[in-house]
Structure 1
Amino acid sequence: MSQNTPNSTPEPTVKVPKVILQTGRFLQSISTSLAATYGQRLFITPLKHKMPKREFHMDEQTEQTQLFVPAFVKSIVVYRYGKSDKKILLAHGWSGRGTQLVKIADHFLKLGYEIISFDAPAHGKATGKTTSMPEFIASIHEIEKQFGTFEFAIGHSLGGMALLNAVREGFQTKKLVTIGAADVITDIILHFTRTLTLKDIVAEKMKAKFDQKFGRDIDYASAHIAAKEVNIPTLIVHDEHDADVPVSCAYAIHNELSNGSIHITKHLGHRRILGKQEVIEKIEGFLIG
């Protein structure tokens, strides 16, 4: 991987394969509704990435169990790292896995905490091919029933959005940290369809399909809306040069929190921020400093 210069984009978004772009545009030429159905399927299908070597030790040293989530009749994989009465829940983002926040996990393990993380449905070692944020949220609630209570919770990207919603719905923790969390779901869908070089009407039709599927306006789960009902101390961490989730999302979420703090980094992008020691120490200072 090439070294990023100070003025370069730290982490460009994933390049979409030509066959996917061509298929989407072909379907759109026939019907925007067909393109919306195709886009909807892609939108709920995460990529499973190969685990990098830096995560191997956490994978080897954790106790891993399958946990059935009745709300969606699916199973997830839960990782228990260390043993302690003081527990921290880690929630990965879209196309992530339970070991992705390994640097954060290692840091707090040394401080005497037990780390609980998980592979969400269709992620990591969990079964299935499709999932959605409601399933992330339901997984968090089920983990709390089986493994709680948690001193703190830390979520990256979609994991941060899911934790904000889970806290709004009653998940109990003393403090919360989100890292690179996105915000308005309509905006996420629009960004997704534009990345696929599809017309904006396709995004509108996709959103309508999701609204129908879940029986409500899915923007209800947007992070800044959930934040209005989150009263515990919450730290919003985001990189100014995040190429996947604009930093404006961090400010929008922070503006709605009644007890929020914000920490903006530079040139770390959407994922490298997870392993930066100064960021981890900032999180430690917020949680237990």
Structure 2
Amino acid sequence: MPYVPTAVSTGFRALSAVAPPLAIRLGTRAFWHVGPPAPVRPVDRAVHERATRGTVRVAGDRIVTYRWGDAGAPRVLLVHGWRHRASRLAALVRAFEDAGLAVVSFDGVAHGDSSGRRMSALDQVAAMHAVQEVEGTFAGVVGHSVGGLAAGLALHDGFAADRFATLSTSTGFDAVAEAFLRLAGLPDRLHDRFCDHVALSFPGGVTDARARIDLVAHPVPAGLPTLFVQDVDDRMVGPVQARRLHAAHPGSELLVTSGLGHNRILDDHDVLDAVVDHITARNGARSAARFPASTASS
């Protein structure tokens, strides 16, 4: 989700009061703004540089792929979120390698070293299917933020994987728009008009994005072992959405943490252990839900 500076949100708040249509148009432009590719973090540099690179094509865009580990080992696919790149999942790469799995990831459209100008959850879905044509079935899929949403939608549509875990993931299109409106300073009363305007401007001429991008209405296949991980201090995605996803996926597991926010959750050792345990089915069945005592009823 795009970062919205305080000065910009103040301007949107004022503009929405006097010229709502203009606020919606400018808000939509900001919503789609990707900005320059995120650099590889120094802490992730070693993992990034030792990957074996490849490419796949999605609707004319060149998608850069990455592979780590023994080519003969079971593989897990990692799917990054907005304004990130595959290397941001380096801690997960190391954790899965330590568990004996090979890892595959990719830079989404308009992210990292891939080409393109705009990226949506459906672009991530298309990239996943393109990667699967090359790599085959995966032992597991792990997604973060919009990458988690895309991974769930891809699994609903037939992407082949044995297990699924997602971190900091929203329920769908409307939830992402709601979070953006809040951060941008646009009032809730503009929600439906804003969603409709964003949907009309969707990449690739998609006409039903608002309905399609909904992981509650389009859950992963029944019986697919699924773990949702969410932090109560995430300003982008709140625990209520994780609970809705958990409820929409009978038999799924839910882990709610605190103090990690939207992105630090990717580097937390306990979270990494939980995700690896789930994908590899280590240590038996985990509890269906874990909440910090202070937030169990929130």
Assess same fold via TM > 0.5: yes
Whether contact under 8 Å (1:93, 1:158) holds in the other structure is yes
Q: Deviations over 1:67-109 (max 9, x none)?
A: 2113xx3222111112323111000111111011111111111
Partner SS for 1:138: helix
- Establish whether residue 39 from structure 1 lines up as the match of residue 31 from structure 2: no
Q: Deviations over 1:206-242 (max 9, x none)?
A: 2112444422251432222222645301011111222
Residue type of the alignment partner of 2:236: D
How many residues were matched structurally? 274
Give the corresponding residue for 2:294: none
Over aligned residue pairs, what C-alpha RMSD do you find? Answer: 2.2
Residue type of the alignment partner of 2:268: K
Q: Structure 2, unaligned stretches of length 5 or more?
A: 283-298
1:128 to partner: Cα distance: 2.5
Q: Which moved more, 1:96-105 or 1:110-119?
A: 110-119
1:242 pairs with one of 224, 234, 259: 234
- Establish whether residue 68 from structure 1 lines up as the match of residue 57 from structure 2: yes
Provide the rounded CA distance (Å) in 2 between the counterparts of 1:144 and 1:45: 28
Provide the rounded CA distance (Å) in 1 between the counterparts of 2:164 and 2:121: 18
Where do 1:103-182 residues align within 5 Å?
103-182=91-170
Residue type of the alignment partner of 1:129: R
Partner SS for 2:39: coil
Distance 1:89 1:247, change over 3 A: same
1:23 to partner: Cα distance: 5.8
Residue type of the alignment partner of 1:75: R
1:279 to partner: Cα distance: 1.4
Residue type of the alignment partner of 1:134: L
TM normalised by structure 1 equals: 0.86
Residue type of the alignment partner of 1:226: H
Give the corresponding residue for 1:56: 45
Provide the rounded CA distance (Å) in 1 between the counterparts of 2:231 and 2:187: 29
Identity score, percent? 24
- Establish whether residue 279 from structure 1 lines up as the match of residue 271 from structure 2: yes
Provide the rounded CA distance (Å) in 2 between the counterparts of 1:142 and 1:201: 39
1:17 to partner: Cα distance: 5.2
Give the corresponding residue for 1:261: 253
Residue type of the alignment partner of 2:68: Y
Residue type of the alignment partner of 1:60: E
Distance 1:199 1:265, change over 3 A: closer
Give the corresponding residue for 1:90: 78
2:175 pairs with one of 187, 202, 214: 187
Q: Deviations over 1:129-177 (max 9, x none)?
A: 3211111111111111122221111001111110110000000100000
1:43 to partner: Cα distance: 1.2
**Stretches of 4+ aligned residues off by more than 4 angstroms:** 25-30
- Establish whether residue 80 from structure 1 lines up as the match of residue 67 from structure 2: yes
1:274 to partner: Cα distance: 1.1
Partner SS for 1:36: helix
Q: Structure 1, unaligned stretches of length 5 or more?
A: 1-12
Q: Deviations over 1:186-222 (max 9, x none)?
A: 2321221232222334432221124444222514322
Residue type of the alignment partner of 1:271: N
Provide the rounded CA distance (Å) in 2 between the counterparts of 1:197 and 1:203: 12
Distance 1:243 1:199, change over 3 A: closer
TM normalised by structure 2 equals: 0.84
1:216 pairs with one of 195, 205, 208: 208
Partner SS for 1:127: coil
Q: Which moved more, 1:184-193 or 1:59-68?
A: 184-193
Q: Which moved more, 1:274-283 or 1:159-168?
A: 274-283
